[in-house]
């Protein structure tokens, strides 16, 4: 059962009117490709459905409980005058409440739950009470204006480079829009609009000229514009972006502030105007959120110069700064991108929030360009760098997702800075929304996840049924059921990994060309795969019951990194389909860092339904490197490698782990 989305974008409404033969005076700019909403896609597969259900029944309730136990909710109560005491924790802790509300809203959209809805209504009522009369909403100051939380600044907006006032606001907007769309209730949306109107009155070319230290409000303002039609919100998002690299009016950080050790401007992508930036630098979460906001402003505002800018930045990341897992952010000290090819393994930061942000960004790049290479990056990040951020049980999390460990890594139930658990709660329910997309005469199949979708397309409803055991198996069956014969192009993504290209750059490559190629059939008859922008183009008049079958070979593949990646010279990684694999000590006699994978080694995939909620493991004969200091006559010992999908590591106690293993 699903609930209809109450807010219909103006431009999409115009398309519907024109399809029905009704005129529409003007259609505002928008993404040329539109995603099919997750509410129109019912996932029922063995891989994603359990994870989405775990998020619904475990992660969301767990996170809501932790928000209470850690006084995040109490801080709002203090700001509302309903509790005594001092504000506790970080100045941005309110966002953990907002993100979990957003996740709850997405869950409610497809799975009504009166008790969960009641809990959210109570939180919304508290948030509204914590909002000041003019729309200001920031518990870190309102709770005690004379003694705001550390880093908040002495007055409103006085330290925007670190106060997170605008970052908090962005998450309010995203959560409020989600809850309005899920329930039709306007109370939280009213809070968001009241706050956004305050920002519009406060900031602008002839008002306060400043920008947020942590990007996010730009994404929220774009969603609020799409929901309300108020263009001033989109213009304010663009203003905040355009102010970066052009100076700010806020106070400098005090020397005793931890952030003072960094060069603040590159750290928060304010070293140059955004249109002049060519290299991804600084805090990776901030960057991915900014690039996402730039895409929204470009598409919804009609600013092609923004597209050119994020095209350059995307190439920089994918060619020089992307981990094999799709993670971004190499440096632990600053949670930031490193230099070109700086991709250490054990010290990799690769924050879960950055992986989620990378998915957000790559989805929008696809919607702008209709190119499968962006979905290739999105899929890699989804199955590896993002999914590793939450335990299979749903109540423990990784903040960092390194590609090697000496045994000291373990997921935690919560963090002082708990942005990552909140991001997981809102991300997982939305995964079905990444499967399909459409434009005027084409329907895209981007991800291979078993589901049934009801897609409004060209004036009728098309039911699409996708059957697959992906990512364990490469066979995909897609059945189409239009209401009547319909002529359009079905665009089926052929993943880059199935075309001997791990990522759409030279950053990684397979050691050998695959022996088999993808096979495509329509109604049982083979068809030639006509690739355009990574998609097989199937143009015809489709009738109810037409079936498309895709077979993607899934051999075990060896991956090498670009020679400039110092950390991976002389090393090799293993993949199968979209999954990156790793070796854990518990499966390999306690040691993995001495494993050597000879070029002649052969591997096989084997089902293990009893392990880690069911996986396909990789097994092969490898060697053990001679101990350090061994003589020239030392011989490598033979041994068996047992590798598991990277997302599933760290579930069986502490121990060594490595993605990249020695090659010689």
The catalytic residues are 335, 419
Separation of alpha carbons 286 and 263, rounded Å? 15
- How many angstroms separate the Cα of 459 from the Cα of each of 17, 320, 491, 543? 10, 44, 19, 15
Separation of alpha carbons 570 and 664, rounded Å? 7
Q: Are 575 and 604 in contact (CB under 8 A)?
A: no
Q: Are 423 and 356 in contact (CB under 8 A)?
A: yes
With 0-12 CB in 10 A as exposed, 13-18 as middle and 19+ as buried, what is 283?
buried
Residue 399 region by backbone torsions, left for phi larger than 0, else alpha for psi between -120 and 50, else beta: alpha
Q: Are 74 and 89 in contact (CB under 8 A)?
A: no
Separation of alpha carbons 242 and 234, rounded Å? 12
Q: Find, among 538, 556, 547, 452, the residue nearest to 497 by Cα.
A: 556
Question: Strand, helix or coil at 560?
Answer: strand
- Helix then strand then coil, in percent of the chain rounded to 5, is 40, 20, 40
Q: Which helix (H) or strand (E) holds 643?
A: strand 637-645
Phi, psi of 31, deg, nearest 5: -60, 135
CA 515 to chain centre: 33
Q: Which helix (H) or strand (E) holds 191?
A: helix 187-202
- Which residues is 603 bridged to in the sheet? 620
């Amino acid at each position: 059962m699903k609930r209809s989305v109450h807010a219909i974008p103006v431009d999409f409404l115009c398309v519907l009117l024109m399809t029905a033969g009704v005129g529409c005076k003007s259609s505002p700019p928008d993404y040329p490709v539109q995603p099919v909403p997750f509410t129109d896609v019912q996932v029922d597969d063995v891989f994603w459905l359990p994870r989405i259900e775990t998020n619904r029944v475990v992660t969301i309730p767990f996170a809501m409980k932790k928000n209470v136990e850690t006084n995040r909710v109490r801080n709002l109560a203090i700001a509302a005058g309903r509790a005594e005491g001092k504000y506790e924790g970080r100045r941005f802790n309110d966002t953990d409440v907002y993100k979990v509300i957003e996740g709850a809203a997405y869950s409610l959209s497809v799975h009504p739950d009166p008790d969960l809805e009641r809990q959210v209504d109570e939180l919304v009522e508290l948030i509204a009470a914590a909002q000041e009369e003019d729309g200001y909403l920031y518990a870190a100051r309102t709770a005690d204006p004379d003694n705001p939380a550390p880093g908040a600044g002495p007055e409103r907006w006085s330290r925007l480079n670190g106060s997170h006032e605008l970052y908090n606001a962005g998450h309010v907007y995203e959560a409020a829009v989600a809850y309005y769309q899920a329930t039709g209730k306007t109370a939280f949306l009213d809070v968001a609009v009241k706050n956004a109107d305050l920002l519009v009155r406060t900031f602008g070319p002839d008002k306060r000229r400043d920008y947020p230290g942590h990007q996010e409000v730009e994404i929220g303002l774009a969603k609020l514009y799409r929901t309300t039609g108020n263009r001033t919100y989109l213009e304010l998002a663009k203003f905040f972006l355009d102010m970066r690299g052009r100076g700010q009016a806020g106070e400098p950080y005090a020397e005793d502030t931890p952030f003072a050790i960094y060069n603040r401007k590159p750290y928060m992508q304010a070293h140059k105007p955004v249109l002049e930036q060519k290299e991804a630098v600084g805090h990776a979460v901030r960057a991915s959120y900014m690039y996402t906001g730039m895409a929204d402003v470009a598409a919804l505002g009609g600013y092609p110069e923004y597209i050119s800018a994020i095209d350059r930045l995307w190439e920089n990341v994918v060619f020089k700064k992307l981990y094999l897992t799709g993670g971004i952010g190499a440096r632990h000290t600053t949670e930031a991108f490193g230099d070109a090819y700086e991709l250490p393994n054990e010290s990799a930061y690769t924050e879960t929030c950055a992986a989620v942000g990378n998915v957000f960004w790559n989805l929008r790049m696809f919607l702008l360009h209709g190119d499968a290479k962006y979905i290739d990056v999105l899929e890699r990040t989804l199955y590896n760098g993002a999914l590793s951020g939450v335990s299979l049980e749903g109540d423990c999390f990784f903040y960092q997702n390194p590609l090697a460990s000496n045994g000291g890594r373990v997921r935690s139930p919560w963090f002082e800075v708990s942005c990552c658990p909140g991001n997981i709660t809102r991300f997982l329910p939305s995964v079905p929304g990444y499967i399909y997309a459409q434009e005027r005469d084409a329907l895209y199949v981007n991800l291979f996840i078993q589901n049934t979708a009801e897609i409004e397309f060209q004036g009728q409803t098309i039911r699409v049924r996708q059957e697959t055991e992906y990512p364990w198996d490469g066979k995909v069956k897609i059945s189409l059921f239009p209401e009547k014969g319909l002529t359009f192009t079905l665009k089926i993504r052929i993943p880059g990994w199935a075309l001997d290209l791990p990522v759409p750059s030279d950053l990684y490559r397979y050691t050998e060309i695959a022996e088999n190629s993808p096979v495509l059939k329509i109604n049982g008859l083979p068809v030639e795969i006509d690739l355009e922008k990574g998609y097989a183009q199937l143009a015809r008049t489709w009738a109810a019951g037409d079936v498309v079958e895709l077979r993607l070979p899934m051999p075990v593949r060896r991956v090498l990194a670009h020679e400039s990646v110092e950390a991976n010279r002389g090393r090799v990684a293993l993949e199968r389909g979209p999954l990156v694999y790793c070796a854990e000590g518990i499966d390999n006699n306690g040691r993995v860092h001495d494993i050597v994978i000879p070029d002649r080694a052969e591997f096989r995939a084997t089902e293990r339904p009893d392990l880690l909620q069911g996986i396909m493991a990789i097994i092969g004969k490898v060697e053990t490197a001679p101990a350090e200091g061994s003589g020239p006559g030392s011989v490598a010992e033979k041994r068996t490698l047992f590798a598991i999908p990277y997302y599933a590591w760290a579930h069986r106690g502490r121990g060594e782990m490595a993605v990249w293993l020695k090659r010689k």
